[in-house]
Amino acid sequence: MRANTWLGGDRFEMGEVPDPVPGPDQVVVRVDTVGVCGTDVHITQGLFPSTPPLVLGHEASGEIVEVGKNVSLARIGERVAMDTTSHCGECENCRTWTWSRCENAVKSSGFFAELAVLPSQSAHRIPEGMSLETAALTEPASCCLSGVSRLSIPAGAVAVVIGGGIMGQFTLAFLKSHGVKTAVMSEPVRTRREIARELGADVLHDPAEGDLNDLVNDLTGGRGAHIAAEAVGRPALVAKCAEVVRPRGDVLMIGVCPQGAPLPVDLYDFHYKEIRLQGAFGRGNVFGDTPAAISSLKLDGVISGRYSLDEVPQAITDSASGKGIKFVIKPNG
């Protein structure tokens, strides 16, 4: 099969590699669509720890074409969303933290390839009628669903999302579906703001046209938002979230800040307002529930570009530039 292997920095190599062979509890999937994640971008920029050579790509969908000896042959032909790890359900992390941090996890292979091998448990059948392109959005959506699900959302809540990339869009959509009354999307790119409106945003904010603090104060009579989510991965924007929430408000970190980044926040204000800061990293326990959760969302226009397997470097460059919302690779297209 063909795969595009990351060699370090911005260097990739297309080539033929051996076809994957499933272990007893694994399946082989013909990859249909792979999302380019901000983490893929950060890996190539040296901002997220990873060691080359490595086949990247961890947001994908496809069709099962081969199964291991312990897997039912009936699974062949299933259309699935692919998780990146399995979970045992018994280790300390599974019991007290999250399945996505399982101490005994078996990893899936990288998805920037024509075929992928993964635990059967990690291949989740998608709803009838869902396209494989939409199914490939399951992984980023699950990270947002996991984070939002951990919040306590009061009646009449006002929430702010900073950043209208794919993570911000899903965070906003799930905040609305979990009971937020008024959702604000703060995003400088007009097309992203328009998509946020389709996903439930009640108020759109362009940072170039006014201060976010002023808008939130106007909406809340000066009290501040109940929830503010940062979905970009910039410490200064996490600090902005702390500014706009009310006393005992929640700041949700959806975006992944660079390793070692400090938080440039006024700790007196943070302490005085009794703000709750919550990290939200990974899929939690909700990956299997996510395809159904996104099946009713208006996702037209979320995929901004489609690339062939040998165009992975260009897709990563375009994703880094913020030109669109979600770029995808079509390994067999």
When the pLDDT of each residue in the chain is averaged and rounded to a whole number, the result is 96
Q: In this predicted structure, what is the pLDDT of residue 181?
A: 98
The string of DSSP letters for 56-119 reads ----EEEEEEEE-TTS-GGGTT-EEEE-SB---S-SHHHHHT-GGG-TT--BPPPSSBSEEEEE
Task: Decide if pLDDT at 300 tops 90.
Answer: no
Instruction: Look at residue 305 in the predicted model and tell me its pLDDT.
Output: 96
Q: At what angle do helices 166-177 and 190-198 cross, to 10 degrees?
A: 30
Look at residues 166, 114, 131 and name the one whose alpha carbon lies nearest to residue 329.
114
**CA-to-CA dists, residue 77 to 27, 29, 33, 83, angstroms:** 11, 9, 16, 18
Which residues are registered as beta bridge partners of 116? Answer: 29
Residue 309 has pLDDT above 90, yes or no: yes
Least trusted range by pLDDT, from 2-16, 80-94, 123-137, 314-328: 314-328
Domains of the chain as residue ranges with CATH: 2-139+283-330 (3.90.180.10), 151-279 (3.40.50.720)
In the predicted model, what is the mean pLDDT of residues 141-170?
Answer: 97
Q: pLDDT tens, 169-220?
A: 999 999 999 999 999 999 999 999 999 999 999 999 999 999 999 999 999 9
Specify the pLDDT at position 259.
Answer: 83
What pLDDT, on a 0 to 100 scale, did the predictor assign at position 268?
Answer: 95
pLDDT, tens digit, 9 for 90 and up, residues 28-48: 999 999 999 988 998 999 988
pTM exceeding the 0.85 threshold for the entire prediction: yes
Residue 49 binned pLDDT confidence (cut-offs 50, 70, 90): confident
pLDDT at 168 over 80: yes
Residue 183, phi then psi, degrees to nearest 5: -115, 130
**Looking at the predicted structure, is the pLDDT value of residue 277 above 90?**
yes
Q: What is the pLDDT of residues 224-264, one digit of tens each?
A: 999 999 999 999 999 999 999 999 999 999 999 888 999 99
Q: How far is CA 244 from CA 114, 160, 239, in A?
A: 45, 8, 9
pLDDT at 323 over 80: no
